[in-house]
Amino acid sequence: MAEGTRTVLDMRGIEKRFGDVKALDNVGFDLIAGEIHALLGVNGAGKSTLIKILSGVYTKDEGRITIGGKVFDLGSPRAAIEAGIAVVQQHPELVGDLSGAENIFLGHESSRRGLFSRIDRSDLATRANALLARFPIDVDLSRRVADMPAVDREIVAILHALRLENARILILDEPTSTLTEREKASLFSMMRMLKAAGIAIIYITHRLEEVYEIADRFTVFRGGRNVACHTVTEARTTGMSIPNLMLGTGGGLTFPPRCSRINGDAVLEVSGLSCDGMFRDVTFTARKGEILGIFGLVGSGVDELSKALFGVFRPDRGEMRLHGRPVSLRSPAQALRSGIFLVPGDRRTEGLTLNENVIFNTTVANLGRASFGGLLRFGANRRNARALAEKVDLQPMRLDRSLRGFSGGNQQKVVIAKGLYRQAKVYIFVEPTVGVDIGARSKIYALMREISQDAAVIVISSDCDEVHGVADRTLALYKGAPVGGADRDMSRDHLLHAGIMGGIAA
Amino acid sequence: MITRQLGMRLLAFAALVALIGLAFWSQSAAFASGGNLRSLMRHMSVQGLAALGLTFVIVVRHFDLSFPGVASMGAMTLGWLIAAGMPLPVAIGGGLAVGLAFGLVNGFAIARLGLPDIVTTIATGGLAIGFSYFYSNGTSISQNFFMSGILDLNDRKILGLDMPFAILMGTALMGAILLHASRLGAGFYATGENPVSARFSGVPTRLLIVLAFALSGMMACLAITLLVASSGAANVTAGNQLLMPAFAAVYLGAALFGRPSIGATLAGTLLMSMMLNGFTLLAIPYYYSDAIVSTVLITAIAIFDPRVSALLRGAVRRKGASA
């Protein structure tokens, strides 16, 4: 093809089968130089299979991949890199003790001759500066990566992927999932700069508002097929519903109806709770029959607050009352005994035993109930796990499968199943839908509403729309301090303003 | 599907047993003699008890390098109590109490104070060896042994089984119930796989880590009790031979069956004991057999390591695909 064509990537008729399952079915996908192209779809729609084929992790069964006018086979990660494809994983692996520049050129350090010669640091700096000249970004690459904020680590990972001259396609897999709003803004400005430098970006995200904010075009995958490809302008003017495209049904992301009966019994009363350096003077009442929402960005103290309510941290001041009785929690075990259950913000490290199956995970949540005279009740535990899995709509319904084999949304459903097995009186959900696809999200919100019929539910999140959409009453936490009383219902904009600026907008 | 996988693993284990057995039997017909098989089982009883205790520590993803030293001190305590004319149950109880005490110290230091397990247990093990010299300045103790009845632990039979093997089987049964059928067992695995999520689920992780170290210390002392009974004397170096075979048995079993468990440890112990017994029978010097045990250990660790096993599987698959 002639130079001057702006298409950098053209994939046609791509097929990929895993056993009997067609993960990709005659899929086409194209990318134009200097565009940001959002790749959307619920988990299992085929977008990660496509990305893995592009990055050489999987080999395609059928189809043709043309990059810059040349046909490539992409049989291995190395072949993909040589073809100019740069991938940034969802959780990039960086060496915390090395500087940003050292991480970028890791394994490609230039050294003076000889096996034991020292790494040539001045050359490293020169190359890092050359890279920054190509992609002018405000980042200090001489800092240790461990000391960097999350967004700088992401930038280091992106520069690492783009360190080779020939890189022209950049794949970003949910880079914003751990970033604050402000960090997200600086990541987006970097993406715009890369775009101006002619890099084509494939951007995978679960957050649709980001598509409107940053992308030029988007492609929607559903059931292993490419079902739609539009420009964002098109989507805006026609008012098409991306959730509908993703789900293929009439329903998009729907929040369950709010509760009609407010002022149920007060279950958890918190007054003046403070943890030095984390949060201060938090006061609220969580009632049975309703959902209390707390909005706070990463670093606002919300995660620490959730852990203080669960006995992980001991508060320095303040009081907690459960059903009117003061409680002082010293451990999660004691919180659980008192009837408080935490759906933690990081389900992989805090919520689940990933190498074990569904039965084990639910059983462990309440070993007292799962055993008789100290011995496990195997039959009853399997029956209970099945009932819980049906209740949370686990997909697929495979009780003997290790949790690693489930999508993020279904792993989260297992955490909720653990909570149901506990039969708690207070449920605290932290970031309940991070990395959860839109189909599972609606189900999780519905479950939260259902749980609130018999218990107090608190949802803590850095997603303002989530807090506003699902909760009956809301408050925000800004730099550790609460903004707005929980007894009034803030509008979405008020809540957003409170959490981001620390004040109630006029 | 799970049962089919277990079937495959059992088959692989049986094949290994047959292979090793045939190899030694072809070299020396005495390998399959009744006398030798009984001595093999006796050897397996001592090693197996120590390995069973270690299994709990490995399940909670820690290391115990102190049990050989602790076992030596247990042996000397046992010998000293017998020599002092104490009744046998008291003497055995005294030996086991040493294991319990050191296990509790290990567990407290590691689970409560957060000290690193390897260094801590090397230190406590060294401490125990030091203490074991106190009783007799390092000479072996055998006074009163004939009268005390301790030798019966080695010589008598119960239900047609040699006493040591019966003790191993009984302990393994209790261990299996504890680790695989009780709420504590589920807690052990949860603690090892993901301590944070276990704690957030209400599992008493610290208590379980302490318990695992306590079991390791006690079972090492139980193992050494059988060894003292068979040799008729308590020796300050008695525990030295426990370390490597116990680790090798646990890791070999875990490599064969996918995770550490009571059954896996027994299987690993059988394989290790067959090899050690066979080498002895062929009069191969002990230092060579030590080297072979070490090779088995490192191979088993490599196979048990998920990254290495994934690598091996990948290599096999690529080979199969290209064929």
Chain A residues within 8 A of B203 when measuring between CB atoms = 333, 364, 367
> Do A367 and B194 lie within an 8 Å CB cutoff?
no
- Smallest CA–CA distance from A348 into chain B, residue: B197
The pLDDT tens digits for A99-121 are 888 888 887 665 555 555 566 67
Q: Are B215 and B136 in contact (CB under 8 A)?
A: no
Smallest CA–CA distance, residue B184 to chain A, in Å, is 8
Average pLDDT, whole number, for chain A? 86
Cβ distance A333 to B202 less than 8 Å, yes or no, reads yes
A275 & A238 share domain: no
Burial of B188 from C-beta contacts in 10 A (0-12 / 13-18 / 19+): buried
What is the domain range of residue A333? 266-339+424-501
Q: What is the pLDDT of residue B320?
A: 44
Q: Is the pLDDT of residue A122 over 70?
A: yes
Report the pLDDT averaged over residues A321-334: 94
* Cβ B9 vs Cβ B257: under 8 Å: yes
Regarding whether A162 and A122 lie in a shared domain, the answer is yes
- Alpha-carbon distance of A473 to A477, in angstroms, equals 14
Distance CA B150, CA B88 (A): 7
| Domains located in chain B, CATH noted | 2-322 (1.10.3470)
Chain A contact probe: residue of B6, B201, B203, B309 with most A CBs at under 10 A: B201
Q: Say yes or no for a CB contact (<8 Å) between B183 and A375.
A: yes
Rounded CA-CA distance A345/A488 in Å is: 26
Domain identity same for A85 and A226: yes
Contact status, residue A458 vs residue A470, Cβ threshold 8 Å:
no
Separation CA A189–CA A195 (nearest Å): 10
Six-digit token string for A40: 């959307």
In a domain, A506, yes or no: no
Please, which pLDDT band fits residue A249 given cuts at 50, 70 and 90? Answer: low
pLDDT at B289: 79
pLDDT of A377 reads: 93
Asked if the peptide bond before residue A257 counts as cis, ω within 30 degrees of 0, the response is: no
Q: For tokens 């079915």, what's the residue? A: A25
Note whether B189 contacts A360, CB cutoff 8 Å.
Answer: yes
Note the Cα A118 to chain centre separation in Å: 40
pLDDT at A125: 82
Q: What is the pLDDT of residue A438?
A: 77
A353 interface with B at CB cutoff 8 Å? yes
Q: Which of A220, A247, A274 is the last residue of a domain?
A: A247
Q: Is the dihedral of CA A130, A131, A133, A138 positive or negative?
A: negative
Number of H helices, E strands in chain A: 18, 22
How far are the Cα atoms of B256, B273, B275, B305, B310 from residue B302, in angstroms, in the given order?
12, 21, 20, 5, 11
Q: How far apart are the first and last CA of chain B?
A: 27
- My answer on whether A46 and A97 are in the same domain is yes
d(CA A137, CA B270) in angstroms, rounded, equals 62
What sections of A392-472 are H helices per DSSP? 408-422, 438-451, 464-470
Q: Is the pLDDT of residue A320 over 50?
A: yes
Q: Which residues of B touch A337 (CB under 8 A)?
A: 202
The pLDDT assigned to A115 comes to 56
On whether residue A37 sits in a domain, the answer given is: yes
Q: Report how many domains make up chain A.
A: 2
Chain A touched by B309 (CB under 8 Å): no
pLDDT of residue A505: 47
Beta bridge partners of A31: A9
Q: Are residues A98 and A227 in the same domain?
A: yes
Tens digits of residue pLDDT in B133-169: 998 888 889 888 888 888 888 888 888 888 999 999 9
Whole-number Å distance between alpha carbons of B131 and B317:
54
Contact B114, B206 (CB under 8 A): no
List pLDDT tens digits, range A431-451: 998 878 778 888 999 999 999
The answer on A281 and A238 residing in a single domain is: no
Classified as helix, coil or strand, A266 is strand
For the packed helices A181-196 and A150-161, what is the interaxial angle rounded to 10 degrees? 20
Q: Report the residue from B187, B198, B202 with minimal CB separation from A336.
A: B202
Q: Is A333 on the interface with B (CB under 8 A)?
A: yes
Going by C-beta distance under 8 Å and a sequence separation of 6 or more, which residues neighbour residue A467? A293, A294, A295, A459, A461, A474, A495
Same-domain status, A183 and A326: no
Per-residue pLDDT tens over the stretch B173-208: 999 999 999 999 999 999 999 999 999 999 999 999
Tell me the average pLDDT across A460-478: 88
Q: Whose structure tokens read 């994934």?
A: B310
Count CB-CB contacts under 10 A for residue A416.
Answer: 25
Q: Which residue has the higher pLDDT, A239 or A11?
A: A11
- Read off the pLDDT of residues B9-21 as tens digits, 9 standing for 90 and up: 898 899 989 999 9
* pLDDT higher at A422 or A262: A422
**In this predicted structure, what is the pLDDT of residue A265?**
86
For A2-53, the pLDDT digits (tens) are: 344 588 999 999 998 876 667 888 899 999 999 999 998 876 688 888 999 9
The answer to the question of residue A58 being in a domain is yes
Q: What is the pLDDT of residue A76?
A: 87
Question: Do A374 and B183 lie within an 8 Å CB cutoff?
Answer: yes
Residue A92 lies in a domain: yes
Q: pLDDT tens for residues B233-290?
A: 998 998 888 998 899 999 989 888 888 999 999 999 999 999 888 988 888 887 887 8
DSSP state of B3: H
Per-residue burial over A107-141, b = 16 or more CB atoms within 10 Å of its CB, e = otherwise? eeeeeeeeeeeeeeeeebeebbeebeeebebebeb
Which of A310, A342, A346, A353 best tests the B interface by mutation, with the highest count of B CBs <10 A? Answer: A353
State the CATH number of the domain containing residue A485.
3.40.50.300
Q: What is the pTM (predicted TM-score) of this model?
A: 0.75
Q: Is residue A174 within 8 Å of A168, Cβ to Cβ?
A: no
Indicate the Cα dihedral angle B111, B114, B118, B123, nearest 10°: -90
Establish if B5 touches chain A: CB-CB under 8 angstroms: no
pLDDT surpasses 80 at A126:
yes
Whether residue A115 lies inside any domain: the answer is yes
Q: Are residues A273 and A217 in the same domain?
A: no
Confidence of residue B307 (pLDDT cuts 50, 70, 90): low
Rounded distance between C-alpha atoms, residue A103 and residue A156, angstroms:
7
Helix (H/G/I), strand (E/B), else coil: A35: coil
Residues A238 and A321 in one domain: no
Chain A contact probe: residue of B1, B6, B174, B183 with most A CBs at under 10 A:
B183
**Average of per-residue pLDDT across A157-185:** 85
